[in-house]
Amino acid sequence: MTYKAKIVKLVIVLCIVIVIIVKWHTLAYLANYIKGYYVTIKESLITPDTVSIIYPTRFLNYKHPYHNAPCDLLHCGNMLLYTPSKEERVSDIAQKLIGYTYYYKASHLQNAIVSLNAVSSKTVAAGTVLVIPHPLPFITIDLTKKSMTQIPYVKGVYYSGNSLASQKMMCQLYQLKQAGINAVVFDVKDVCGTVNYKSHVPIVVELNTHEKRPIDDVVTLIRNFKELDLYVIARIAVFRDHLLATKSPDMAIKSKRTGGIWNQGSKELWVDPTKQSVWDYNIALACEIASMGADEVQFDYIRFPTTGDLSDAQYAYDFGKKSKVETITEFLAKAKNELHKLNTAVS
């Protein structure tokens, strides 16, 4: 065998070793990464009217999730190792590292860490090497949207907040994807008022309306959806909001008779559609989930109440005394304007 042939053979062996280390799925990421650049160049040369996109997320941009990883975290191939510099609670480790894994609920990651590493206590000593299960590959989907996602039709499935907490959800979703769905709708905020993920919107944090959230890392959840080529629709129940009315009575519709919260004692409390702070709360939430990768925000309960003692309802009219139609129309116009800046559709 000639020297040149030996070199070629060595290169082939090295390539095989690299493939084994990074696994085949990483090559798929690289392929899509190249396709993403190709489509970007193509779109810059061809007018958008001549481009027909059938699958909303077939070509995607990617980023490196470990670029700013802490120094005590080591990613190599399909392995993620964490070595705490001081004694830490397993629950804190799960919260800290969830963004580097496919888990979107911290308790699930915590249980997996305990099981995989045979951890026998709630804390881990400094210097202990932990294997973190189901880590992200070295490049992942970038959820930043450079343009509004186009989709010819929607055939999807809806998940409430609690159903998202099920560990079987992604498996079920994969089966539904195989059956032909191309979209998923999930509750960002339901009629109870619970914000279903860990939000960073100041008023949500202040009022702690995400306290009973089923999702700790909504970015990972949305990324999981995108990896299945699904169009992601975030549902927000706007003006029917029991929790917000309770935690911030100033935002609730008032009772003319008592001066307190209108419809108090019922299971159906509403915040005031004519109040500036209520608009700001919901639009801030919509913009946050849009910036996290949702393709569309679906506003529900975008109306005034129709049951209860309506004659007793007192509205603030922060924008002047306008009709219900005008109020709702102006709210939607403002929300649409803000969301379109983030390349997010509104329904």
Could you tell me how many residues make up the chain?
Answer: 347
Q: Which two tokens stand for residue 10?
A: 């060595």
Q: Which two tokens stand for residue 180?
A: 């032909």
Q: Are strands 130-131 and 79-82 parallel, antiparallel or unpaired?
A: antiparallel
Q: What is the pLDDT of residues 145-161, one digit of tens each?
A: 878 888 888 888 999 88
pLDDT band at 95 (very low <50, low <70, confident <90, very high): very high
Superfamily (CATH) of domain 143-346: Aldolase class I (3.20.20.70)
Domain definitions of the chain by residue range:
3-62, 63-131, 143-346
pTM: 0.80
State the pLDDT at residue 148.
84
Does the pLDDT at position 318 exceed 80? yes
For residue 261, what is the DSSP state?
Answer: B
State the pLDDT at residue 2.
72
Gap between the Cα atoms of 333 and 335, Å rounded: 6
End-to-end CA distance of the chain: 67
State the pLDDT at residue 52.
39
Q: What is the pLDDT of residues 252-306, one digit of tens each?
A: 999 999 999 998 888 889 999 999 999 999 999 999 999 999 999 999 999 999 9
Higher pLDDT, 184 or 146: 184
Gap between the Cα atoms of 100 and 67, Å rounded: 11
Does the pLDDT at position 50 exceed 60? no
Classify residue 89 as exposed, middle or buried by CB count within 10 Å of its CB (0-12, 13-18, 19+).
middle
Gap between the Cα atoms of 277 and 244, Å rounded: 11
Q: Are strands 156-159 and 183-189 parallel, antiparallel or unpaired?
A: parallel
Q: Calculate mean pLDDT across residues 56-74.
A: 74
312 and 255 Cβ atoms separated by less than 8 Å:
yes
